[in-house]
Amino acid sequence: MIRIGTRDSQLAVWQATQVKNLLESLGTPAQLELVKSEGDLDLVTPLYAMGVQGVFTRVLDTALLNNKIDVAVHSMKDVPVQLPEGIVEAAVLERASYNDILVLNPNWQAPDNSFQFSAFISQLSDPEPETSNFKPETLNLTIATSSVRRKAQWLNRFPGHTIENIRGNVNTRLRKLAESNWFGAIFAEAGLERIGLKPADSITLNWMLPAPAQGAIMITARKGDAAVLRACSRINHTATAYCVKAERDFLNELMGGCATPISALATIHQNSLHFKGSIVTPKGGQKIEVDETYAIEANIPAGRAAAAAILEKGAGPLIAKMNHEQ
């Protein structure tokens, strides 16, 4: 019997249940063990101000090392690139959507200037909007997110808007949005889709690069636990693991802190890996991007190569300045 450790939010339990079902479908019995994390208990402090990486994984790491559970299931974007001593990656499940979406406040009233508002909505879903005389900041909209990455990219595209902090699990954030006067809040599409809470009128932000490994589910286990690692290897999705490794290598090479807006997306097209990455200052004023394609057969460490490319464009001093200001 494999004991699967998970946070007790609806989304976390859904993810762990997927792991349980996959293991049992291959003949390995499993059961869920629910653990509450510090990140779930503190619903006020912004994530980037909590002072530690792995705020959603540390409790499960402790349970794993103390042999209270056999594996832990995480949203992979929450997992630090350096795992604790004694813990290893056991498997990565097939990736769901990596997109961010804007969930609109169902109680928000549109402004009188319907032409400007319509122009703004069209820009939200267009990865390359046409240049026009329309200035979206004139709408004075308020957007909610606790992610410094989402905040930075939003302000880079829509300077002058107001960003409000929003914390809590998916259900809590949806409730807070409905009770607010905000225009909308940014969510990971995969999380809402997984538990059936994605509103029909939500807007996919095609232009917003995701966090490294967003949309992927990661399983960790104790190093040397051969039976558990063997069982988990059977449910590993090779292509997803390959892509998210490149994204996390990019993050690791840049040595960004938890408040550094670093984004990355690796996708496979035939025999090539297409890598897009960016660094944006927290207030959106500066952005440096990289867009490269690597032949898979060449066995190039794509994430590290992309990091080198963006550093050549001047990302190093920008990251150092942001880390100094944290």
Per-residue pLDDT band at 118 (split at 50, 70, 90): confident
Name the pLDDT band for 47 (thresholds 50, 70, 90): very low
Residue 166 lies in a domain: yes
133 HSE (CA, 13 A, CB side): 1
- 109 shares its domain with 199: yes
Same domain, 276 and 229: no
pLDDT of residue 255: 76
pLDDT for the residue 17:
98
pLDDT at 164 over 90: yes
Same domain, 89 and 224: yes
Measured in whole angstroms, how far is the alpha carbon of residue 22 from the centre of its chain?
23
Question: Looking at the domain assignment, is residue 246 inside a domain?
Answer: no
Would you call 85 helix, strand, or coil by DSSP?
coil
Has residue 209 been placed in a domain? no
Paired tokens of 1: 């019997």
Q: Are 193 and 96 contacting, i.e. CB atoms less than 8 angstroms apart?
A: yes
Instruction: Provide the CA 217 distance to its chain's centre, in angstroms.
Output: 11
User: Is residue 210 included in any domain, yes or no?
Assistant: no
- Residue 130 and residue 177 share a domain: yes
29: CATH: 3.40.190.10
- Are 118 and 37 in the same domain? no
Same domain, 7 and 35: yes
Q: Are residue 26 and residue 40 in the same domain, yes or no?
A: yes
The verdict on 173 and 314 lying in the same domain is no
Is residue 213 a contact partner of residue 76, using CB atoms and an 8 Å limit?
Answer: yes
Q: Does residue 241 fall inside a structural domain? A: no
If one counts the domains in the chain, the total is 3
- Residue 45 scores a pLDDT above 80: no
- Please give the single-letter amino acid code of residue 32: L
Give the CATH number of the domain where residue 265 resides: 3.30.160.40
Mean pLDDT, rounded, for 270-294: 95
Q: Are residues 113 and 186 in the same domain?
A: yes
What pLDDT score does 38 carry?
56
Whether 50 shows a pLDDT value over 80: the answer reads no
Residue 43 forms part of a structural domain: yes
Query: Does one domain contain both 294 and 315?
Result: yes
pLDDT at 108 > cutoff 50: yes
**Residue 219 above 70 pLDDT?**
yes
Residue 268 confidence (pLDDT): 97
Q: What confidence category does residue 114 fall into, taking pLDDT thresholds of 50, 70 and 90?
A: low
With respect to residue 243, please indicate whether it lies within any of the assigned structural domains. no
90 lies in which domain range? Answer: 2-94+216-236
Same domain, 38 and 127: no
Q: What region does 123 belong to: left with phi over 0, alpha with psi -120 to 50, or beta?
A: alpha
Is 113 found in the same domain as 42? no
52 pLDDT band, cuts 50/70/90, is very low
Residue predicted with more confidence, 260 or 197 = 197
Q: Work out the pLDDT band at 217, boundaries 50, 70, 90.
A: very high
Q: What is the mean pLDDT of residues 309-315?
A: 95
Please give the mean pLDDT across all residues of the chain: 88
291 within some domain: yes
